[in-house]
Amino acid sequence: MKRLFLLFAICTSTAWAGELKPIPEKPAPALTLPRLDGGQASLDALRGRVVLVNFWAVWCPPCRKEMPSMARLTKKLEARPFTILAVNAGDTPDDIHAFLSQVPVNFPILMDAEGAALKPWQVFAFPTSYVVDRRGQLRLGLFGSIEWDDAETIAKLEALLDEN
C-alpha cells in the first residue's frame, strides 16, 4: 500500500508528458492477470502480436487523459496484429467500472489488485507503458502519458508490426 501511495504522489505531483522511446531489447516479464470482464489474460498467449502493456490507475490524471487516445489507436490498428493490455494497479472493480462508464475503452482491462506486476515490469510511476514485439521482446517504453494515436507513435508501432 505504501508503494501505491508513493506512485500516487509521483503521478499527481508531476506533469507527465513523454515520448515512446526504444529500450534495450530483452524478454518481457511474465504477465498473467484476471480480466475485469472475466477470465484471464496472458502476455504469452499473444505471441505473434505487438502488445502495448499500459500500467495505470483510476486516480491518476495522466492515465485518465491518455485512455481515449489508446481506444482510438486500437481502432486505427484493428486490422493489424496489435493488442493493448491495460493493467490497473490497485483500484476496485467498482471504481474501474465507474471510470469506464465515462471513458469507454475497446481493449482489455487487467486487474493487478496487489500491484504484483509492478516490480518485474519496473513500474515506478503511472502511467508506464511498454511495447512488446511479436517475439515477446521489450522494444519501446514510456514513463508518462502521450496521445497514442499521433502519427509519430503510430509509425513506431507500425515499424514493429512490419517486422517478421
The pLDDT tens digits of the residues spanning 67-118 come to 999 999 999 999 999 999 999 999 999 999 999 999 999 999 999 999 999 9
Q: Mean pLDDT for the chain?
A: 91
Mean pLDDT, residues 132-157: 97
Provide the number of structural domains found in the chain.
1
Handedness of CA 103, 108, 111, 117 (dihedral sign): negative
Q: What is the CATH number of the domain that holds 77?
A: 3.40.30.10
Across 5-163, the runs of DSSP E, i.e. the strands, are 21-27, 32-34, 40-42, 50-56, 82-89, 109-112, 128-132, 137-143
pLDDT in the model for residue 18: 78
**In terms of residue numbers, what domain contains 72?**
2-162
- Alpha-carbon distance of 67 to 122, in angstroms, equals 21
Q: Which residue is it, cell 508506464?
A: 128
Mean pLDDT, residues 3-19: 47
pLDDT, one tens digit per residue, over 111-132 is 999 999 999 999 999 999 999 9
